[in-house]
Structure 1
Amino acid sequence: MSKAIVVMGVSGCGKSSLAAALAETLGWKFVEGDALHPPANIDKMARGQALTDADRAPFLANVGQAIAAAASTGVVASCSALKVAYRNQLRQHCPEIIFILPKVSQEELQRRVQARPNHFMPASLLASQLATLEPFAEHEAAISVDGCLPLSQQVQYLRQQLSL
């Protein structure tokens, strides 16, 4: 059983909240992916500019290294990981990652992102994130969960799916 989980998805899907709650429930380390962005990435997003694959490379390396460092004792990280290629980059650091995607409607995502004060990710980038989000590939260990359920129900569902 993998002890490395990445809660992924677009901005506003609840990945950080879910990852933190799941990590706490399991007694595992929580890694906040947003904290691992290079300052240039945060500045670019704050200006309303989408990141390129080249921009994301150091961020994904940072997240992958943080996951690998804690995987032996258990880690749950939040990371957008929108493309299969990004998830493959994370798996280079820790091959047994399980990805979790909270599914939320575009309308609800928009509402959530607009309601967040002082966050570097503007609502104007949501459409580009949704366009970038790729479905899970056959080779990926992955679970989708209803991101509109109460957090405790999401955690309960995931524990059942993961047999944890």
Structure 2
Amino acid sequence: MQQVRTPHVVVVMGVAGTGKTTVGPLLAARLGVPYAEGDDFHPPANIAKMSAGVPLTDEDRWPWLDAIGAWAQGRAGLGGVVSSSALKRAYRDRLRASAPGIVFVHLTGDRKLIEDRMAHRQGHFMPTALLDSQFATLQPLEPDEAGVAVDVSGSPEKITARAMDALRDLERSSAQPSQ
């Protein structure tokens, strides 16, 4: 099996409940790089807002994205995996501005499955009531963005294996000479 060369940083993205916090560490372990939990970069005011069921504004997100970008920049050339919803193109552009070479793994899936997973997780501040706003905000990866979409059905191990396969395919296709 061909090994995936680690890009500067892999950002595991998607709406709440897709499994970023579960798949991210598994992917980091498979790649042999450190993992950073994106939620840990939120200032307390953001967590309080989301805990109260209030969606974040772009102004709320900028410092959070900048903190993730600074971590990613510090991992340039070393590799790493970090979770971040990165729902809008503008958010991903901001991350790329801090750390060029980022590759996104967009965890996608059926809304019902995601809502069910959110309803059954414990100890997380994000209520299922915010899932609608997450889907409304989501702008999927565009063709010019380095990244892959990975379905979240199945076990975390299967999702991680799919992500590894997709990253391998992406690496192969980007290594092909342009014609």
TM-score with structure 1 length normalisation? 0.95
For 1:50, the equivalent position in structure 2 comes to 55
Pairing 1:1-150 to 2, within 5 Å after superposition: 2-150=7-155
| Structure 2 CA distance for aligned equivalents of residues 66 and 11 of structure 1 | 21
Q: Contact 1:100 / 1:143 at 8 angstroms: preserved in 2? A: yes
Runs of 4+ residues over 4 Å off in structure 1: none
Q: Contact 1:9 / 1:81 at 8 angstroms: preserved in 2? A: yes
Q: For structure 2, which runs of at least 5 residues remain unmatched after alignment? A: 172-179
- Give the count of matched residue pairs: 164
For 1:157, the equivalent position in structure 2 comes to 162
Amino acid at match of 1:91: R
Secondary structure at 1:143 match in 2: strand
Amino acid at match of 1:34: D
| Structure 1 CA distance for aligned equivalents of residues 157 and 124 of structure 2 | 24
Secondary structure at 1:137 match in 2: coil
Between stretches 149-158 and 74-83, larger displacement belongs to: 149-158
TM-aligned CA deviation for residue 114 of structure 1: 1.2
Secondary structure at 2:126 match in 1: coil
TM-aligned CA deviation for residue 118 of structure 1: 2.3
Q: For structure 1, which runs of at least 5 residues remain unmatched after alignment? A: none
Q: RMSD value over aligned CA atoms?
A: 1.3
| Structure 2 CA distance for aligned equivalents of residues 69 and 136 of structure 1 | 24
TM-aligned CA deviation for residue 113 of structure 1: 1.0
TM-aligned CA deviation for residue 158 of structure 1: 2.5
Q: Contact 2:23 / 2:159 at 8 angstroms: preserved in 1? A: yes
TM-aligned CA deviation for residue 7 of structure 1: 0.5
TM-score with structure 2 length normalisation? 0.87
Q: Contact 1:29 / 1:70 at 8 angstroms: preserved in 2? A: no
Post-superposition CA distance 1:107-161 (Å, at most 9, x none): 1111111112221111100000000000212320110111113222222232233
| Structure 2 CA distance for aligned equivalents of residues 33 and 125 of structure 1 | 17
Larger radius of gyration: 2
Secondary structure at 1:35 match in 2: helix
